[in-house]
Structure 1
Amino acid sequence: MSSTPLPAPSASLVDLLDRLLDRGLVVNADVVISLADVPLIGLNLRAALAGIETMLSYGVMAQPGEEGAARGLETPHPQAGTPSG
């Protein structure tokens, strides 16, 4: 009784894109550029790629018309130099 190996499942570009938009992808990177062991520049990079429904469900993006909700701002900040109260 001999068995033939099954071909590996191949995912097309459309399948990969569908999965990416459905589940999303988040990339976080911290980069420090230094010269002679002296840190000069620090970068904190964060990127999220997903479909609009996925981003809305995770709270990464605000509904259209809700400015600042995705950044965690409950109310808009007052303008600098404007008297409050």
Structure 2
Amino acid sequence: MRPRRDDESFVDVIDVLLRDGAILRADVIVSVADIPLLGIKLTAAIAGMETMNEYGIFEEWDTTRRLAGISRRQNDDREQNGEFDELTELGIGSTHDGVEESDESEN
């Protein structure tokens, strides 16, 4: 039997990785003359973000990103509804283009 290249099997592997995930762990100890000098512990999790969140991995990152998205949407809604127009009229958030030099020197 000869090895064959099957594109469907690659898609199946990606599907399983995204749906179920995989955790790879490696412990490496570097020693010279039976004296351990360096220890390395590696852990890698490979999965789709939904699966990662189910297992509590990247939970803080996901919460932060979702809150940032909500904040952006709320700011966009305010801009569309004209809530920032009042603040601009009061001079909040505007530049100092209209300020004359004599006004700046008095302060």
Task: Give the TM-score range, shorter chain.
Answer: 0.5 to 0.7
Instruction: Count how many residue pairs are aligned between Structure 1 and Structure 2.
Output: 57
Matches of residues 1-85 of structure 1 in structure 2 within 5 Å?
A: 12-62=9-59, 63-65=62-64
Higher RCO by CA contacts (8 Å cutoff, separation 6 or greater): 1
Structure 2 unaligned residues grouped into runs of 5+: 1-5, 66-107
Structure 1 unaligned residues grouped into runs of 5+: 1-9, 67-85
C-alpha deviation, 1:36, in angstroms = 0.3
Kindly indicate which of the two structures has a greater share of residues assigned to helix: 2
Question: Which contiguous aligned blocks of 4+ residues in structure 1 show a shift greater than 3 angstroms?
Answer: none
C-alpha deviation, 1:64, in angstroms = 4.1
Kindly indicate which of the two structures has a greater share of residues assigned to strand: 1
**TM-score of the two chains, using structure 2 as the length reference:** 0.49
Q: For residues 11-62 of structure 1, what are the alpha-carbon distances to aligned partners after superposition, in whole Å with 9 as ceiling and x for unaligned?
A: 5211110011100000111110000011011001000000000000100112
Q: Percent same amino acid at aligned positions?
A: 46
* RMSD of Structure 2 on Structure 1 (CA): 1.7
Q: For residues 56-75 of structure 1, what are the alpha-carbon distances to aligned partners after superposition, in whole Å with 9 as ceiling and x for unaligned?
A: 01001121417xxxxxxxxx
**TM-score of the two chains, using structure 1 as the length reference:** 0.61
